[in-house]
Amino acid sequence: MKQLLFEDDPQFWFETLRVFGHASYGGSDFGEVVATASRIKPGDYDSWHDEWLAAAERLAAEAEKAHPISARDAYLRASTYYRSAEFFLHGNPADPRIAYAYDRSVECFHRAIEGFAGVERVEVPYEGHVLRGYFYRAPGTGRRPILLAHNGFDGSAEEVHFFGGAGGQERGYHVLAFDGPGQPSAIHRDGLVFRPDWEHVVGPVLDFALADPGVDPDKVALLGLSLGGMLAPRAAAFDSRIKAVVAVDGVFDAGSAVTAFLPWDRAEIERRANAPEDEELDRLLAAGRAASPTLRWATDHGRYVMGAATNREFLAKYLTYTLDGGVAERIQCPTLVCEATDDLVFNGHGETQSEPRRLYERLTGPKTLLSFTAEEGADAHCHVGAQRLATARVYDWLDETL
């Protein structure tokens, strides 16, 4: 898709498109996004924060005085804008602006869902902590299929509202959206960083979901977004209670998003990343950050959510997020692999096969590859420009599969 704003900064454009996309389920409004984005200085993280925060504050103040439905809608959009405000600040986790904007985003989302029928906050017991999320209960009686859904490297359980939460509920699915370790509520509230063995995260969530008498245990699906497109298949490889898995978008080796910037093969990069010192790798990562807005943001955020002190340590940890070593081949439930044909992160960078296709080719069980294209306005990472279209196709596949 053509970059309509921030022509020299694909990362700022992608995050703006992401906010645009949430309009599909009421999470933004076109004019508000254009007006806000047009005031932001390209590449300036402070400007990005200040403008989105100002938009969120104005809208939240309006919601306080609005009638119930108007307030619900305004709070939902304000939640999106607060979340956007702190998005690029994680290079300095001590920045007080992060906690303020995050807390306000969640608070506004909670106020918003008070106006939606059948949506409740939940806490899933997890290793002495809780995983926070939302249960979207399908209307009617009797047992219903359930979709467990989580985000990826940088998204939240609140954002799943726009990526299948609301869309599943209206189709007769229960949806349990949750944050796992490394994801916003877990990192903000409890300091829980990411872990690659995601089956140990999904297991307790499955226990929680299957204890609900309204859930059909034979119709349990799991969906992961972005990095979740590797994490969800990983969980499905080790837990037979999952009857279908959806990767939006599919990821075989998450490390490819960073290794594409480096001149060595993966084994050499892994050796260097885990070495006590490697000045050459450090210099190349610094140069990559200077040249690529995406790598600059990814390393800042990656240190934060992976619990890494340096960019090289982040890389070493991130390289463990892979389905290699026979993991992909273990997945036996039907798998839907979604592919964005112009993915900013996992497209192979014109040199190797895209991550969705790498995953698809390694699967040995029932599998479907679903490509989203520029003609559809859906070719961006996780189809953020076409969330209604993506939601429809995912649930139609689930209907046929379950």
Location of structure tokens 């960019």: 311
- Looking at residue 193, the DSSP 8-state letter turns out to be P
Residue 126: phi and psi, rounded to 5, are -155, 105
Structure tokens at 86: 């702190």
Structure tokens at 32: 């508000």
CB within 8 Å of 186: residues ≥ 6 apart: 129, 131, 132, 179, 180, 192
Amino acid at 370: L
* Residues 144, 278: Cα–Cα separation, whole Å: 54
- Residue spans of alpha helices (H) in 239-375: 256-259, 266-273, 279-291, 293-306, 311-318, 327-330, 355-362
Residue 355 near residue 370 (C-beta atoms within 8 A): no
Q: How many residues does the chain have?
A: 402
DSSP 54-96: HHHHHHHHHHHHS-HHHHHHHHHHHHHHHHHHTTT-TTSTT-H
Residue 348 near residue 243 (C-beta atoms within 8 A): no
Residue 94: phi and psi, rounded to 5, are -85, -5
The dihedral formed by the CA atoms of 333, 339, 345 and 346, expressed in degrees to the nearest 10: 60
Q: Judge whether 28 counts as a catalytic residue.
A: no
Furthest CA-CA distance within the chain? 62
CB within 8 Å of 206: residues ≥ 6 apart: 148, 220, 239, 241, 242
Location of structure tokens 């080796």: 253
Residue 226 near residue 152 (C-beta atoms within 8 A): yes
* Residues 396, 330: Cα–Cα separation, whole Å: 25
Location of structure tokens 């590797």: 230
Catalytic option among 79, 156, 226, 354:
226
Catalytic positions are 226
